[in-house]
Amino acid sequence: MPREVGSQPMNMKVLIPAEAIQRRVDELGREIAAAYPNHQPVTIVGVLTGCLVFLADLIRRLDLPLRISLIQASSYRGETTQAGELLLGAEMLPDLTGRDVLLIDDILDTGRTISKIAERLKALGSRSVRAAVLLRKRGRQEVPFEPDFCGFEIPNEFVVGYGLDYNDEYRHLPFIGIFNSTP
Ligand code: IMP
Ligand code: MG
């Protein structure tokens, strides 16, 4: 469906409508809360910047005692879709010793980012590290990593919206769209 953002017409097809995302995030909230049956405190670690919209919606559906923190990871440069070296900025993390950590990211693509971050969080002394991703691309994974919670499996397309960007744009769209840079 073509859609206007600002004055810029875009060639974008809706892959997951906003309402479907909201319904799935509701379910994920229940699944995740059920996976912490003792109602123990959970430390959320969101991967900037793509996690932001998913994180904001999900935490308001999690009936658990929560702390929220963020980690910076950058592996994609400019508009390329090739992963470069992964840089982790962990300055914003609290002391994770003995904590049950729930890592939150927008998308599992090659798996390099989230597996590196999970390793780092374990090395920082957390008691458990689980991961929730909104999206998982079929046929792209290069590193073995199984997320504990996953919103949607999607085809191998470049997607934007609901936190995901193309050159830092389109994160605010309420739906997930397939982005075509050559309309
Ligand atoms: P991975 O390390 O290859 O799994 O890459 C994960 C990161 O790449 C995600 O957190 C996103 O920031 C980015 N990424 C991967 N695929 C897409 C996409 O289709 N659209 C936007 N960003 C993506
Ligand atoms: Mg990201």
Q: How far is the CA of 113 from the centre of ligand 2 (A)?
A: 8
In tens, the pLDDT along 13-68 reads: 999 999 999 999 999 999 999 999 999 999 999 999 999 999 999 999 999 999 99
Look at residue 131 and tell me whether its pLDDT is greater than 80: yes
In tens, the pLDDT along 96-129 reads: 999 999 999 999 999 999 999 999 999 999 999 9
26 occurs within a structural domain = yes
Look at residue 182 and tell me whether its pLDDT is greater than 80: no
The mean predicted confidence, pLDDT, of the chain is 90
**CB of 64 closer than 8 Å to CB of 33:** yes
Q: How confident is the model at residue 83 (pLDDT cuts 50, 70, 90)?
A: low
177 occurs within a structural domain = no
52, 109, 135, 143, best to mutate for ligand 1 pocket (most atoms within 8 Å of CB): 109
CATH number of domain containing 124: 3.40.50.2020
Domains contained in the chain, number: 1
Range of the domain at 147: 17-33+41-73+86-154
Query: Strand 100-108's sheet: what is its strand order?
Result: 83-89, 66-76, 42-48, 100-108, 128-137, 149-154
**Residues 157, 135, 86: CA angle, nearest 5 degrees:** 85
Positions annotated as catalytic residues are 109
Number of helical (H) and strand (E) elements in the chain, helices listed first: 3, 11
Residue closest via CA to ligand 1's atom 20 equals: 159
181 occurs within a structural domain = no
**Which stretch of 2-6, 9-13, 18-22 has the lowest confidence by average pLDDT?**
2-6
Strands (E), the chain: 3-5, 8-10, 12-16, 42-48, 66-76, 83-89, 100-108, 128-137, 149-154, 159-160, 176-179
Q: Crossing angle of helices 52-59/18-34, nearest 10°?
A: 60
Look at residue 5 and tell me whether its pLDDT is greater than 90: no
63 occurs within a structural domain = yes
105 occurs within a structural domain = yes
113 occurs within a structural domain = yes
Look at residue 6 and tell me whether its pLDDT is greater than 70: no
Residues 6 or more apart whose CB falls under 8 angstroms from that of 5 comprise 170, 173
78 occurs within a structural domain = no
Look at residue 7 and tell me whether its pLDDT is greater than 50: no
What's at 174, amino acid-wise? P
106, 137, 173, best to mutate for ligand 1 pocket (most atoms within 8 Å of CB): 106
Q: How far is the CA of 81 from the centre of ligand 2 (A)?
A: 12
What local confidence, expressed as pLDDT, does residue 90 receive?
Answer: 83
In tens, the pLDDT along 13-28 reads: 999 999 999 999 999 9
Q: State how far the alpha carbon of 4 is from the alpha carbons of 11, 53, 179, in Å.
A: 9, 20, 13
142 occurs within a structural domain = yes
